[in-house]
Amino acid sequence: MEIISYVLSGELAHKDNMGNGRAIPPGDVQRMSAGNGVMHSEFNHAPKDTTHFFQIWIQPNVTGIPASYEQKTFETPEKRGVLRLVASPDGAQDSVTLHADARLYAGLFDGAEQATLALNPARKAYVQLARGEIEVNGQHLSTGDAAYIEGETQLTLAQGIGAEVLVFDLTA
């Protein structure tokens, strides 16, 4: 599996048998490829605080590769009012590299901030609203809501209120 960790608040600690042992704070995206096997653990790095995060598992498009780990920071200004590519098959725009035909974007939206993303109608898009409120192609979403989109050529995010959103571009 391709495993992506995206922290919203607190800090997630990661340790594995490849020698990685890091804290994952908000703003960082961690990608671990389980490859041909890995032993790992994740836990709350600050036991007196609550850690809120998403862990996303995506089926890889290759098998038998060595396990691997990557972590990058995406600062708030990079995601403010835009969809910032944070994971992709080719590491485009300094994103973490996935062994999968998928792309993950992250964005922060308030007020008049708006972003559009061109979609291939033969692919699928999945929007997960991590917090706040936002309109997705004119449909209102609140914290925890998601939208599954198919057959569309464009995704528009607008009218955000403290919104943090993840957008997945996936194969059909």
CB burial string 58-96: b at 16+ within 10 A, e below: bebeeeeeebbbbbbebeeebbebbbbbbbbeeeeeebb
pTM as predicted: 0.94
Q: For residues 154, 160, 162 and 165, what is the CA-based torsion angle, rounded to 10 degrees?
A: -10
Q: Which of 70, 69, 28, 21 is nearest to 51 (CA)?
A: 28
Q: Work out whether strand 40-44 and strand 28-33 pair parallel, antiparallel, or are unpaired.
A: unpaired
pLDDT tens across 79-90, in order?
999 999 999 999
Please state, for a pLDDT cut of 90, what percent of the chain lies above it: 74
* 168, 156 Cβ separation under 8 angstroms: no
Task: Compute the distance between CA of residue 41 and CA of residue 21 in angstroms, rounded to an integer.
Answer: 10
> Is 67's pLDDT higher than 90?
no
* Domains within the chain, CATH numbers bracketed: 2-170 (2.60.120.10)
pLDDT tens across 104-146, in order?
999 999 999 999 999 999 999 999 999 999 999 999 999 999 9
